[in-house]
């Protein structure tokens, strides 16, 4: 069976006019009586859809400038732009064919589209702008979101690649030591990283605490080993029923990740019981350190260990097996990672001492630290192998739960994990007076040792965000709070969100996303002064308190 890359290469090779310069006839869009374009007549839905499925955007570096949400397939935009710019043929049945026949062609060399001006006034991550430019069109993009503007500006920049590589290397050398204490982690099966003191080449022992290093001291250390590459967060609904206040994670389903891995295997028959099963050369796991539930209907299997032994899944006998990969092959293994219902139940408003939990953008450091430790202390994940059943039983807790039912019974509502009341998310967040509290529940990490030894997950693994990692998050929050109005003041957004920006409801009548900083986690929390030149005292837009600002003033903010 051909891989996705091979299928795509074959499709390109077979495409009519692949790479050849063409000059398709366009229309005069200033003419109200102009002829129709191909897009107005027909569109090659099926072939474009096939390419879109194969393509994704993972292999195109230009679209990796940012992990933009709602990133659309570039193949869809390219074909739509060609169809919208090309005059439809006399025979309407040939319109879709004309678009598809010229999908892979070179449209820039003859410049048929160079006089066309295309405006994307809600450009987002810039797929339209990039694909139109590749066709030779004059592209104009606009977006109220400054992140969108910055991302597209970098996508379209004319740069020297060698200069960019040198710049990235310089940034990494400066920044990596500063943030590594917040991103290191243990890998699967107890894999540990290594901290080295560069001036002395001393490798630190197991009692070494990277979080105790000052920013100046961090420059002297190098870390090698597993690290965090993604963190998974969940917004919580603050129950507004009198006497409750419980916080429930808003998740439509317990499913947090789905993946298909392939393993080498061969058939084996147990010498003790005669049972047949697959011997697999590696464990098919995406979260190796969490409990595993094998779904009914999965073919019996056992993973061979480093000594060439397996345990029979039928009778439990320890067997010696010979590697018979020549008579075996590769097979896909479907995996699903679930959030345990113990975490989905949520947490109360206050801790056992009666202190309120934080987690909102407007909460202070101490309250947010209490909240992150509370949530990290309850997190459990469960990995399921095979076709996901409607119910699973956790082998650790023996709790059976539904796999497709989360805390969201209907759109924009959640069920309180304490009192069971169904409430509207917007209403409860609005009533709380601040953004909805969020909490991290899992990470995706990269373990280089696992990648080099050929593990099926290729070094990328999932793990629950437990109490140890939550301490790193708390340290990051505390450091940000101490530096955000001093040396880091020029590096974060403080202006208000314009009405109409694509972030959903905001301001006091919505989710309390009044400023760009409120969209981030509580690392950007606390009182935000209105900074005006020449005024030593300012009023916070979030809590309306008057505060004195001693940090350097930044002109031009409002």
What is the predicted pLDDT for the residue at 326? Answer: 55
Reported as a single tens digit per residue, the pLDDT across 484-503 is: 999 999 988 888 877 766 55
- Provide the percentage of residues in the chain whose pLDDT is more than 90: 72
Tell me, yes or no, whether 83 and 202 share the same domain: no
What is the predicted pLDDT for the residue at 18? Answer: 64
What is the predicted pLDDT for the residue at 244? Answer: 95
Residue 433 has pLDDT above 70, yes or no: yes
**Mean of pLDDT values over 437-461:** 92
What is the predicted pLDDT for the residue at 129? Answer: 96
Question: CB-based burial of residue 421 (10 Å sphere; 0-12 exposed, 13-18 middle, 19+ buried)?
Answer: middle
Residue that wins the pLDDT comparison between 220 and 20: 220
Long-range contacts made by residues 498-502, C-beta under 8 angstroms, separation at least 24? 498/144, 500/144, 501/144, 501/145, 502/122, 502/124, 502/143, 502/144, 502/145
Measured distance CA(20)–CA(107) in Å, rounded: 8
Contact by Cβ (8 Å): 123, 142: yes
* Domain encompassing residue 424: 232-262+288-294+330-465
Number of domains the chain contains:
3
- Binning pLDDT at 50, 70 and 90, where does residue 517 land? confident
Measured distance CA(526)–CA(545) in Å, rounded: 11
- Binning pLDDT at 50, 70 and 90, where does residue 522 land? low
Question: What are the two backbone dihedrals, phi and then psi, of residue 381, each rounded to the nearest 5 degrees?
Answer: -120, 155
pTM of the model as a whole: 0.77
In a domain, 374, yes or no: yes
- Binning pLDDT at 50, 70 and 90, where does residue 27 land? very high
Measured distance CA(90)–CA(248) in Å, rounded: 60
Tell me, yes or no, whether 359 and 247 share the same domain: yes
Tell me, yes or no, whether 75 and 51 share the same domain: yes
Tell me, yes or no, whether 382 and 250 share the same domain: yes
Residue 36 has pLDDT above 90, yes or no: yes
**Mean of pLDDT values over 250-276:** 94
Measured distance CA(141)–CA(151) in Å, rounded: 12
- Provide the percentage of residues in the chain whose pLDDT is more than 70: 86
Tell me, yes or no, whether 240 and 366 share the same domain: yes
Calculate the average pLDDT of the chain.
87
Tell me, yes or no, whether 203 and 57 share the same domain: no
- Binning pLDDT at 50, 70 and 90, where does residue 512 land? confident
Tell me, yes or no, whether 45 and 165 share the same domain: no
Tell me, yes or no, whether 218 and 117 share the same domain: no
Tell me, yes or no, whether 101 and 169 share the same domain: no
Measured distance CA(218)–CA(214) in Å, rounded: 6
What is the predicted pLDDT for the residue at 10? Answer: 64
Contact by Cβ (8 Å): 141, 129: yes
Contact by Cβ (8 Å): 23, 86: no
Residue 239 has pLDDT above 90, yes or no: yes
In a domain, 506, yes or no: no
**Mean of pLDDT values over 312-316:** 96
Reported as a single tens digit per residue, the pLDDT across 135-169 is: 999 999 999 888 899 999 999 998 898 998 999 99
Reported as a single tens digit per residue, the pLDDT across 178-202 is: 999 999 999 998 899 999 999 999 9
- Binning pLDDT at 50, 70 and 90, where does residue 452 land? confident
Tell me, yes or no, whether 352 and 391 share the same domain: yes
């Amino acid at each position: 069976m051909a891989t996705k890359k091979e299928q795509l290469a074959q499709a390109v090779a077979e495409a009519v006019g692949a790479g050849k310069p063409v000059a398709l006839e366009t229309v005069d869009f200033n003419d109200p009586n102009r002829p129709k374009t191909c897009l107005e007549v027909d569109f090659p839905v099926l072939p474009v859809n096939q390419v879109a499925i194969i393509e994704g955007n993972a292999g195109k570096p230009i679209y990796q400038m940012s992990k933009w949400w709602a990133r659309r397939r570039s193949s869809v935009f390219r074909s739509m732009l060609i169809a919208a710019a090309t005059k439809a043929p006399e025979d309407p049945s040939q319109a879709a064919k004309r678009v598809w026949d010229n999908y892979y062609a070179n449209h820039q060399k003859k410049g048929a589209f160079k006089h066309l001006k295309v405006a994307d006034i809600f450009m987002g991550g810039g797929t339209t702008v990039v694909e139109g430019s590749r066709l030779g069109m004059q592209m104009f993009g606009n977006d109220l979101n400054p992140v969108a503007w910055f991302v597209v500006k970098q996508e379209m920049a004319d740069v020297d690649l060698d200069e960019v590589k040198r710049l990235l290397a310089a940034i990494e050398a400066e920044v990596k030591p500063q943030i590594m204490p917040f991103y290191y982690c243990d890998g699967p099966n107890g894999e540990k990283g290594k901290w080295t003191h560069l001036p002395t080449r001393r490798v630190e022992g197991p009692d070494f605490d990277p979080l105790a290093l000052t920013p100046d001291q961090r420059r002297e250390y190098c870390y090698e080993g597993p690290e965090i590459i993604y963190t998974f967060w969940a917004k919580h609904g603050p129950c507004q029923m009198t006497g409750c206040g419980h916080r429930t994670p808003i998740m439509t389903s317990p499913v947090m990740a789905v993946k298909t891995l392939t393993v080498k295997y061969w058939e084996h028959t147990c010498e003790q019981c005669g049972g047949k099963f697959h011997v697999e050369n590696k464990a098919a796991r995406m979260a190796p350190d969490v409990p595993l539930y094998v779904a009914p209907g999965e073919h019996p299997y056992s993973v061979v260990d480093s000594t060439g032994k397996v345990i029979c899944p039928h009778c439990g006998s320890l067997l010696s097996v010979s590697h018979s990969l020549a008579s075996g092959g590769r097979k896909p293994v479907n995996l699903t990672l679930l959030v345990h219902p113990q975490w989905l139940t949520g947490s109360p408003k206050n801790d056992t001492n009666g202190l309120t939990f934080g987690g909102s953008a407007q909460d202070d450091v101490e309250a947010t630290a209490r909240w992150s430790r509370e949530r990290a202390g309850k997190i459990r994940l469960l990995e399921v192998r095979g076709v996901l059943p409607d119910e699973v039983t956790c082998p650790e807790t023996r709790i059976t739960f539904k796999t497709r039912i989360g805390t969201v019974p209907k759109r924009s509502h959640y069920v309180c994990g304490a009192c069971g009341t169904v409430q509207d998310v917007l209403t409860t967040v609005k009533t709380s007076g601040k953004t909805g509290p969020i909490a991290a529940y899992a990470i995706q990490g990269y373990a280089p040792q696992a990648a080099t030894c050929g593990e099926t997950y290729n070094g990328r693994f999932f793990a629950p965000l437990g109490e140890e990692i939550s301490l790193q998050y708390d340290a990051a929050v505390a450091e940000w709070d101490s530096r955000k109005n001093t040396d880091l003041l020029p590096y974060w957004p403080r202006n208000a969100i314009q009405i109409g920006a694509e972030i959903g409801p905001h301001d006091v009548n919505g989710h309390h996303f009044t400023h760009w900083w409120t969209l981030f986690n509580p690392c950007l929390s606390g009182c935000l002064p209105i900074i005006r030149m020449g005024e030593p005292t300012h009023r916070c837009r979030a809590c309306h308190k008057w505060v004195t600002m001693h940090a350097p003033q930044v002109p031009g903010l409002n």
